[in-house]
Copies of this chain bind each other. A is one copy, B any other.
Amino acid sequence: MRSDVMLLDKITNYIVKSKGKQMRPMFVFLSAGMCGTIGETTYRGASLVELLHTATLVHDDVVDESNYRRGFFSINALWKNKVAVLVGDYLLSRGLLLSIDNGDFELLRIVSNAVREMSEGELLQIEKSRKLDITEEVYFEIIRQKTATLISACCGVGAASSGAEKATVDLMKDFGEKIGIAFQIKDDLFDYGTAEVGKPLGIDIKERKMTLPLIYALKNASPADKKHIIYLVKNKNNKADKIAEVIEFVRKSGGIEYTKTVMQTYYKEAMEMLDIFPESEHKTSLMELVKYAIEREK
């Protein structure tokens, strides 16, 4: 990632220092190991998805005006928005060039499709959150595009890089999609206080993001309750006590249990897809990784 521009070197060093769990490259390596052989292409694939993911996070922090990321200051907080947008573009182009220069065109196709779907998913969410008229169907479409697409791409890239045939690559993409949906549902549950340790609650409600627990609760509410809760989300989403009222309403209506059941269904369906692969160290680790992500408490 070296560059002749000092400012860029400084920022990429900072990003490397503040790196996250790197779950996505792990999906690439474990999928490759399970489906075939981990090779040079796998390493490039893992770099590509991590660069893309980092680029997305840097842009996300600009659009959300976040000042922190993973316990560090965000790039936009330290260097202003202008720099952050450009750094995001730069990281993305470096990832693409790595693949282009090595002729990894199948990887490129998988990843570019993911970029398109992710930006579409975010925009769909913005469009819908204005109206609050979101159905379960739209919710699943949003989280599929927004989160699941990248996990799906990781598993597909891993399989493709290992020399697996097209049917296996497609199966791994489907596996990753289901896992990604389960992850996002898990994340959305945290907003309603399901984590053991104290994560902040009600952030999604504050931003008028309609997630599955609330969607389910509203669908099963009386017309009067529904009207009242939508009014709170729409007009009182800056008041802590009103947000707490919405959370309490969702809990009482069984929205949490329903959502947990749906998550478990996706989790189980995904795991069953791995039955066709022979037992291996990589398969066991992949299953452990997924289990960790689904059962994590923070």
Q: A90: which B residues are within 8 A, CB to CB? A: 116, 119-120, 123
A89: nearest chain-B partner, CB-CB: B119
Q: Tell yes or no: A137 within 8 A of B by CB.
A: no
Q: Tell yes or no: A289 within 8 A of B by CB.
A: no
With the chains together, A29 CA to B113 CA distance in Å?
27
Knowing A5-B123, A120-B90, A123-B86, the reply to whether A81 touches B62 (Cβ < 8 A) is: yes
Q: Tell yes or no: A8 within 8 A of B by CB.
A: yes
Knowing A63-B82, A109-B101, the reply to whether A8 touches B123 (Cβ < 8 A) is: yes
Q: A63: which B residues are within 8 A, CB to CB? A: 81-82, 85-86
Q: How far is the CB of A222 from chain B (nearest CB, A)?
A: 31
Give the residue of B64, B96, B120 whose beta carbon is less than 8 angstroms from that of A112.
B96
Chain A binding surface, main DSSP class: helix
CB proximity to B under 8 Å, residues A69-84: 81-83
Q: Tell yes or no: A283 within 8 A of B by CB.
A: no
Q: Tell yes or no: A273 within 8 A of B by CB.
A: no
What is the count of identical protomers in the complex? 2
Give the residue of B81, B86, B100, B126 whose beta carbon is less than 8 angstroms from that of A122.
B86
Q: Tell yes or no: A6 within 8 A of B by CB.
A: yes
19 contacts between A and B (CB under 8 A): A3-B120, A4-B120, A5-B124, A7-B123, A62-B81, A86-B123, A87-B119, A89-B115, A90-B116, A92-B92, A92-B115, A93-B115, A93-B116, A94-B116, A96-B96, A97-B116, A100-B105, A100-B109, A103-B105
Q: How far is the CB of A107 from chain B (nearest CB, A)?
A: 10
Q: Tell yes or no: A133 within 8 A of B by CB.
A: no
A100: nearest chain-B partner, CB-CB: B109
Q: A81: which B residues are within 8 A, CB to CB? A: 62-63, 81
Knowing A94-B116, A116-B97, the reply to whether A64 touches B89 (Cβ < 8 A) is: no
Q: Which residues of A contact B (CB under 8 A)?
A: 3-8, 59, 62-64, 81-83, 85-87, 89-90, 92-94, 96-97, 100-101, 103, 105, 108-109, 112-113, 115-116, 118-120, 122-124, 126-127
**Contact between B119 and A93, CB atoms less than 8 A apart:** yes
Q: How far is the CB of A140 from chain B (nearest CB, A)?
A: 14
Q: A93: which B residues are within 8 A, CB to CB? A: 112-113, 115-116, 119
Q: A120: which B residues are within 8 A, CB to CB? A: 3-5, 8, 90
Q: A105: which B residues are within 8 A, CB to CB? A: 100, 103, 105
With the chains together, A112 CA to B51 CA distance in Å?
15
Q: A108: which B residues are within 8 A, CB to CB? A: 96, 100, 108
With the chains together, A123 CA to B119 CA distance in Å?
24
A108: nearest chain-B partner, CB-CB: B100
Q: How far is the CB of A164 from chain B (nearest CB, A)?
A: 20
